[in-house]
Copies of this chain bind each other. A is one copy, B any other.
Amino acid sequence: MGNPEIHQHRHTVGQAERMRLKPHLPACLWFTGLSGSGKSTLANAVEQCLNRDYRAHTYLLDGDAIRMGLNSDLGFSLPDRAENIRRLGEVARLFMDAGLIVLTAFISPLREDRARARQIVNTGRFIEIHVDCPLEVCEQRDPKGLYRKARRGDLAEFTGISSPYEPPLGAELTLHTDREAPEDCTRQVIQYLIKEGILTDAAS
């Protein structure tokens, strides 16, 4: 240990060593959309399919859970949302480096922030998935009662009501949860992953 060159030993286990434990490539499935659009539902359905049918090693970074843990120091102002997404991009990068397929389910309302996450991840396997559902439908679903609160003015900076949502211009996938069944949406994601060579179609 007295060797001045001890730092030569760094990074001895890299993506290649971890990859031989896994039947898929690492990737980031970045679900973006309004509150109530179905991001978490779809991300969970896709994760379940990947785990069950493809034995893929996955991890879901869910907005609410991360907000209570890693990003518990952040609020909902646009700068805090930017920092929220920056850290998520960094964590997604770590999980991909560890060889996983990581799924993120965050509103991530701004194009610039999503572009930054893509840049942080910095591979061809950042897959932006627009969970596209009209505001009226999301507001009607209102699974957490947040739209009602926001309309009453009890909730500031709420995306779609008092804070902007910028739909992606070049998403890898767009899913219409107002008119496509969850199973159809899930199938589209899986087929995309097979087409891109991230999964092999060994499950069939």
A59: contacting residue among B12, B41, B97, CB under 8 A: B97
Q: Interface code A139-157, partner B: CB below 8 Å = 1, 0 otherwise?
A: 0110110000000000000
Taken together, the copies of this chain in the complex come to 2
Q: Does A181 contact B (CB under 8 A)?
A: yes
Q: Does A4 contact B (CB under 8 A)?
A: yes
- Contact present for B6 and A141 (CB under 8 Å): yes
Q: Does A51 contact B (CB under 8 A)?
A: yes
Count contacts on A: residues with CB < 8 A to the other chain.
Answer: 55
Q: Which residue of B lies closest to A181 (CB)?
A: B1
When chains A and B are docked, how far (Å) is the Cα of A97 from the Cα of B99?
A: 15
- Contact present for A41 and B87 (CB under 8 Å): no
- Contact present for A70 and B94 (CB under 8 Å): yes
Q: Does A32 contact B (CB under 8 A)?
A: no
Q: Does A2 contact B (CB under 8 A)?
A: yes
- Contact present for B45 and A7 (CB under 8 Å): no
The answer to whether A69 and B93 touch (CB under 8 A), given A51-B13, A57-B18, A98-B100, is yes
Pairs across A and B, CB under 8 Å, 17 listed: A1-B41, A1-B141, A1-B177, A1-B181, A2-B141, A4-B141, A6-B38, A7-B40, A9-B40, A9-B44, A17-B51, A18-B58, A69-B90, A69-B93, A69-B94, A73-B83, A91-B94
